[in-house]
Every structure is written in structure tokens, then in C-alpha cells.
């Protein structure tokens, strides 16, 4: 009898903690295959993004590399973005992975599961307040935090 595959979509704080715990309790004992799926290769704890934005935090020092972390903690990491879900067939459809130039690195594919956990996290909400989306920096990702840092430094340099 095959062991069940538990797929966790989203490597934020909740998904990473769950993958780690299940990896320790089930994955290492070969009682289940634990798969963490995330579009990024690394995790930076979201409450630290303000430190990244101000330059206090070096993201390469404080990020968790999913591949390295998974090999130590008994789960498997797959890079990808969820673009479809077939609950009847118990499959996920993943978008192709593209490089910085838009060239395909890995084609779209499917991933089967026995149990599925959607740990997609959250994003900032402007609650429809006029002008917010056009005039603020949201900080939901390291890329957004670095964009804020770049704009802040450029503003200081202008003055």
C-alpha cells in the first residue's frame, strides 16, 4: 500500500511550520510523503519585511531556503504556482516556471495529492480607500520591501 501524499500549498509562516512538523512526525518515519509547494525558493518571515525595507535586515542571512530546509526536516519542496485544482481527480495544475527573461525553465505540470492544505496567507488590503493603492507601498513580499527601500533611498538622495 502506498503512503499518502500530503501537499501543502504556500510556504509562508503557517505552511512552512506545518510542513516542518509533518515532516518530523510523518515524513521522516515514511508514514506520509509531505510536499511543500511555493512559487518562491525561499521564505522570509513577513513580520521582518519592514526591517528588510529599511535596510536593517539582510534577506540572504535571514531567509529560509526551502530546498535545504526540506532535506533536513523530512518533507519535499516543489517550486511552482498553483493555477488549477481538480478536487475529483485530486490533482493540482502548476503554471510553467519562467526565468527572469520570460523563458520557460520548467513546463506546466500536475501534482497529485491524497490530502491538500491550502496555506496561501494574506495580502495587504486597502479596503477600497481612495488613493491608497496609488500612493502607498504594500509589504507582502521581499520584492515589495526592496522596492520600498529603493524608493525611500532615492527620495532621500533627491533632497
Residue 35 has a pLDDT of: 98
pLDDT at 48: 72
Q: What structural domains does the chain harbor?
A: 5-122+135-158 (3.50.50.60)
**pLDDT on residue 50:** 76
Would you say the pTM of this structure is higher than 0.75?
yes
d(Cα 20, Cα 64) in Å, to the nearest integer?
12
Residues of the chain with pLDDT under 70: 57-62
Q: Which of 43, 113, 119, 110 minimizes the C-alpha distance to 80?
A: 110
- CA neighbor of 123 nearest in space, from 140, 135, 137: 140
Amino acid at each position: 500500500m502506498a503512503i499518502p501524499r500530503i501537499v501543502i500549498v504556500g510556504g509562508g509562516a503557517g505552511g512552512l511550520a506545518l510542513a516542518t512538523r509533518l515532516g518530523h512526525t510523518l515524513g521522516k518515519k515514511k508514514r506520509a510523503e509531505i510536499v511543500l509547494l511555493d512559487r518562491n525558493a525561499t521564505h522570509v518571515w513577513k513580520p521582518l519585511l519592514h526591517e528588510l525595507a529599511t535596510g536593517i535586515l539582510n534577506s540572504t542571512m535571514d531567509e529560509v531556503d526551502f530546498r535545504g530546509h526540506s532535506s533536513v526536516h523530512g518533507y519535499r519542496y516543489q517550486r511552482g504556482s498553483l493555477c488549477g485544482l481538480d478536487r475529483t481527480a485530486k490533482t493540482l495544475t502548476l503554471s510553467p516556471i519562467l526565468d527572469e527573461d520570460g523563458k520557460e525553465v520548467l513546463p506546466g505540470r500536475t501534482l497529485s495529492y491524497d490530502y491538500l492544505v491550502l496555506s496561501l496567507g494574506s495580502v495587504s488590503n486597502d479596503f477600497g480607500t481612495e488613493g491608497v493603492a496609488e500612493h502607498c507601498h504594500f509589504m507582502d513580499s521581499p520584492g515589495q520591501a526592496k522596492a520600498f527601500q529603493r524608493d525611500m533611498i532615492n527620495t532621500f538622495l533627491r533632497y
